[in-house]
Structure 1
Amino acid sequence: MKEPDIKYNNRPQSFNGIEEMVEFLPATNSKKMEKMTTKKKLLIAGIVGTAALISVAVGLLVWHFAYRNAPVYKVYTGYLTIGNVRFLDAHENPASPEFADLASKVSEVLLNAYQNDPAIGPYVVNCNITAFSEGVISYYLSEFKVPAYREAALDKAMSELKVKTTNLRRFNLAVDTFVAYPTDPQNARMFRDNRCSFYLHATPSVATRFSTPGFPNFPYRPNSRCQWALRADAGHMILLHFKTFKMEACKPNKGDYVTVYDSLTALEPRIMVKLCGSYPPSYNLTFVSSQNVMLVTMVSDNVGKHPGFMAEFSQIPKTTLCGGMLRDASGVFSTPFYPAHYPPNRECIWDIQVPGNQHVKVRFLMFYLLEPSVPITTCPNDYVEISNKRYCGERSQFVISSNSSKMIVKFRSDQSYTDTGFMAEYLSYEPLNPCPDQFTCKSGRCIDLVRKCDGWNDCGDSSDEASCNCSAQQFRCKTNQMCKPKFFLCDGVNDCGDETDELDCKCPANHLKCRNGKCIPQEKKCDRTDDCGDGTDESECGSALTTTCTENTYKCDNGECITKMNPACDGVTDCSDGSDEKEASCSCGKRPYSRKTRIVGGVNADIGEWPWQVSLHTKKDGHTCGASLVSPTILVSAAHCFQDASGIRYSDPSTWTAYLGLHNQATRTTSSDVVERKIKKVVAHREFNSYTYDNDIAYLELESPVTYTDFIQPICIPDSSRVFPVGKSIWVTGWGALSEGGSGAQVLQKAEIRIINQTECNKLLEDQLTPRMICAGYVSGGIDACQGDSGGPLSSVESNGKIYLAGVVSWGEGCARRNKPGVYTKVTGMRDWIKQNTGL
């Protein structure tokens, strides 16, 4: 509605050069369009103006007090080095008079320095001396409340603050160094609350243990702030090892976590590691300080109940020995204290020179120099440097060669975030023949001649796959021209990088390819009709449809079949009777320890990584076969393990003993994690064919049930319709022979392999596969199951977070041979037999 004191005309009004015609309707009340008197207009204008000024003033006041002048709580931590004070043993104890006296003087020094700076002094709330160490180094925590608009000025002033000795003569303290860093305000609460603060000094030749309060009988308290100040004698360093670590799963920027500092205060630039989640006991959690102090802190939120950690520390003589002159023809060298995390603030230089006219190369066998959020392209913090090139991050085995007999290898670590480091060997070689009877990679690495042009990047730089003529068993990628094994074709994985291997496998444009190979128009997807006939087009539509039962559809307990792919235990109830989510079937395939991808040395599995793995022993042979735990009383294994031979009745249950929760065969009778059970019943598939190994499956019943623990858990049995696609990564585990004809492993081994196209695999194995077999491995060889792994699991990690028994180790032509992948019993093809015989 028009205001009475505004007059309008119909002239064009221009906005940014564009003329717009505005037309107004005539006023319905002509009196409202009359001119007002000048006096009345001035009065109204004054009122409006005054109101506007008041509004602006109120807004400015609100902004000033509520926002610009709002107090911000800031905490700084750091240290001062004091040159004219002798460190006393009593300075370790915050309750001693000596500590209190020195702390009082240092506090005055700090407060004096703060008060002399106008950007700092008005905002000081508290200054607390938290610890002393040799030097004398005085650690402090200072708290401030500063208006928001002064926060940046305070940060700048603290970073530039110089604590001058000339101003401190009355305190009789000579300050040599002053360091200040902003820190988490939670740290102030941590140091004020002495109920969970502990001060420990190492005992020579003895490991001192400490743990979260209540461990192992009670979980640590929610909303806890705990700290452990660790010390060693002067001239020593601290070796810290977490023996057990089980806390809340990691959460971004929140949750429960433990931080280790190379300091006695929570200095951000001195963080060595930040830990959360759960780690198996075999995982490397060993750290070395750069000096004789270390701080461990723990923060917990208000969610969850977890056991916590148990750790131990000891003192080791302080040494700066690192690097050196290497003059032999070959040798080994590593980062300090490998495989423990190297200490911060180290520099090592190895001067390598091999004898004679030989050249030198270095092979890094293990290489872990990784820091959070640090680019591995420039390597600004921790790195290895050779010929002015830096290397950092996590790298697989690689080789660096020199064109002379000399090489300088430099290692550097900064003050924060340490890692496992590296293990390397240096070798001498003939310049004209660097790899006798082998292929020489561009990088200098040597590989077997048979691995050249096999479709696999064995060199690491693809130089073994350059300029190759593809064999009859290979195809050529379009872009990189590499030759690849034909079994990569149409496996759903972009092996070439440009999808060359998948281009001819697709349906026409705007069509969907069903699992049974049929092509249907794309618009038929999710139209609530099973156009594929196997449910593919309706399997990923958010809801499940009832459909005709086929071998590709999921069957509910009530006999209904649904279209959804892999619906079991995905957290959504799809069957009308709820059988796809029933607790009895879904409480499986869980690992108490989240899988850690890093293993220091070889392919040893972590303790508790595969808690369904079982070792089956006989008195004559010891470990003979593997098995998988699927319920408290039932194991699944391979039928060929229980065929009578050589005067031994392997079919007799009394022949066997099962060890569950086992990791190292040497400790099966001494480890408290291991449970031993006799076998009550052995049932092999009646149609097992000892010639073809068809139907190679058996189940064993234990004499008594086992109780699930962190190291003993069941694996999930997949439904017959569950899809394990070609190309999928999958894991095989066991204590079998480490090489064909070799001896068995002591420690449980693991290997990541891939499911291979059944048709192509059958060609390689001369038509020996049946529909009840699944092929997995690598055509290039090198990774495979072997003797002693039989009956063990082929474990598949699924998108619902559970792990399924995809296969049972069955047979193969030798172990890890080229073009001879391993064959496994297909558990989905045996699902009905398992259910009929075990009820599971």
Structure 2
Amino acid sequence: MLVWLPPALLVLFAKESAVAATEYVEDLYWPHGNVENGEGINGMYELNTKSRYNLLGRLFAAGKYVVITFPRIFIEGYEGKRCENDWLALYTENQASQLKGICDPSNRLVPSLGVFCNYNEPPALLGLPGQNITIEFCSDQVIEDAGFEFKWKTVLSPPPTPTPPKPKFPVIKKCGDTFVMGPNQERVIYSPGFEQGMYPSNVRCKWTIKGAGTVFLLESQHFELEDDEGHKCLPDRLTVSVQSEDEPASFGPYCGRQAPEILIRPKNAYVVTIEFSSDSKISWSGFKLLLRTAFPKPSICGRTTYMQSDKTSVSFYTPDYPAFNRQNKVCTFTVKRKAYTRYNAFEVRFNDFNLNTSSSYLMISSGDRSDTFSGMMNSNLSFIYAGPFKLQLKYSAKGDSKIGDRIQAEIRLLTLNPLPCSDDAFHCSSGQCVALEKFCNGIWDCKDGSDEMNELCHHDNSIARKSCGFSAVQPNMDTILDFNQYALEAKAHSWPWSAAIIRKGQKGDEPVCYATLISRRWLLTSASCMETNSNYNAYVVRLGSSQLNSSGDLFEIDYAIKHPQFDRKDKNNLAQNDLMLLKLSQHAKFSKTIMPVCLPPTKFFLRDNAYCMALGWMDADKRGERLAMEKLQRLLVCARRHVDAKMPILFAKGVRTRDEILEVHL
């Protein structure tokens, strides 16, 4: 008996299966017939497909002719390209003898009857003497289309030569502008349709900006164009070119979320051209670009500045800022505070830190402390230097760089608490020290209540709870009476740390991977799943939903960290260290429907053959809906959280990190 499951959260037992390319071979013996491809999810062909059809004409068309037609062909391809992503290729019997494995890259070097995709369509018909014909279809791991259909039949005489198909040119939508920017001006340009959240198809836009004697800056305040495998930017792209008395320069192409950040300092007049194009397929949200012009700042090298108030700040910047410094240079800047002031520390906050030359560095010295910075750093990171009355910044650049270096920092005075809290106390925002056992106990022990309003506390009916592993809806795990049963309906929002990874621009909310929220910005997922869907910028994360087509919050993926010992050589068995961390582009707001799971302590031991609860998504399809499923598996997962040097940006007394990194061990 078939039973349709209603939209609900479910529990099941399952074993993780390896995800690999789909290979398919079929021998076609009949004198006429047809083959269709494109009956997968949402009527599209499957990603990562390798198919080969052997049309055995020697068997059914000896002494006759085989006629092949293509009623439908929608295969990913781009204007001016040679079907580099997905393709349908036809080979004669002699040509097919040179082929290697299905969709082997070397097959593209073999002469063929034709390689077809969008913008490179086949003729109306192909007529060949009775012989074996091989047809091969190959797709990559990103961006599918509606597929194809080919038909064949047997005729006694050679068919007439068909009229070549007329090329189909899409309707192009044009946009852009030409304008002049004087000194210290700003201007914003948007992709068409930006306010509606999606740019249109087949767009060709061109902006021309003219200026003279100023630094020109292009900054991306929002940037998201359709991406492709290898970031070749074949579907949609943005490029920037510069013409001046210097050598012409070009930047890009840019796509995905690889946003342009461009700064030039021409000798005299210049013309900047920004071009944007989109194809006829998927569209993303577009871009918002800020254009600025400015005169270079005067040099501060060798200067000494005195500070006596926290109401003002002092700026440090590299020579020629906001342009990049491309010359050998040593620049020293000194800041002193008056001895009679109440301030006892300097704060150095970096608004811009970009050292592209390997030998370039910035050294900050204060008393016995000396820190050396190099590489690149996120904006708004700050460092505090307490005690001495003098702070010195030394920038050194040796060796030429095509890109150059750029630093800008603000220096302020601070008053630090002279009585820091002990290791067993919590430091209140009001300056008090409160014993740790009073932290998150439901009582305001700090005058300002910062010990209870902290994000690590969650209060429900005056009972303090840690904000992990807490569900406002009691899960129905205790109703699992028979461990052999396949699925069990669960309550909505009883697993608030469950997350779905969804592809952008896709009709419906078909998840490609499952993830678990472990903090405000971090999720844990399967490395093998995200390896199959390697272009994580093409996906978003949905939190706070037990049914994917209902409400919930969407988050961009900032970047991913794969377990360094992830190993998937044997695709027939479970992968080793199959873990990956995903960082959200912004913090998730905890609520009754969004809450992180608790990570076990570092010495947690899980006994053999223990049953563990894990969450996933499964299609219990009643109306084409995608429902949340819980999978009960025999998994052994351990995790620990600590600060580790995954992204080194500071070299001096050890290595410091830009952010807290979650490291997961299996």
TM tier, shorter chain?
0.3 to 0.5
> What TM-score comes out, normalization by structure 1 length?
0.28
Structure having greater relative contact order (Cα 8 Å, sep ≥ 6): 2
> What TM-score comes out, normalization by structure 2 length?
0.33
When you count strand as a share of all residues, which structure comes out higher? 2
When you count helix as a share of all residues, which structure comes out higher? 1
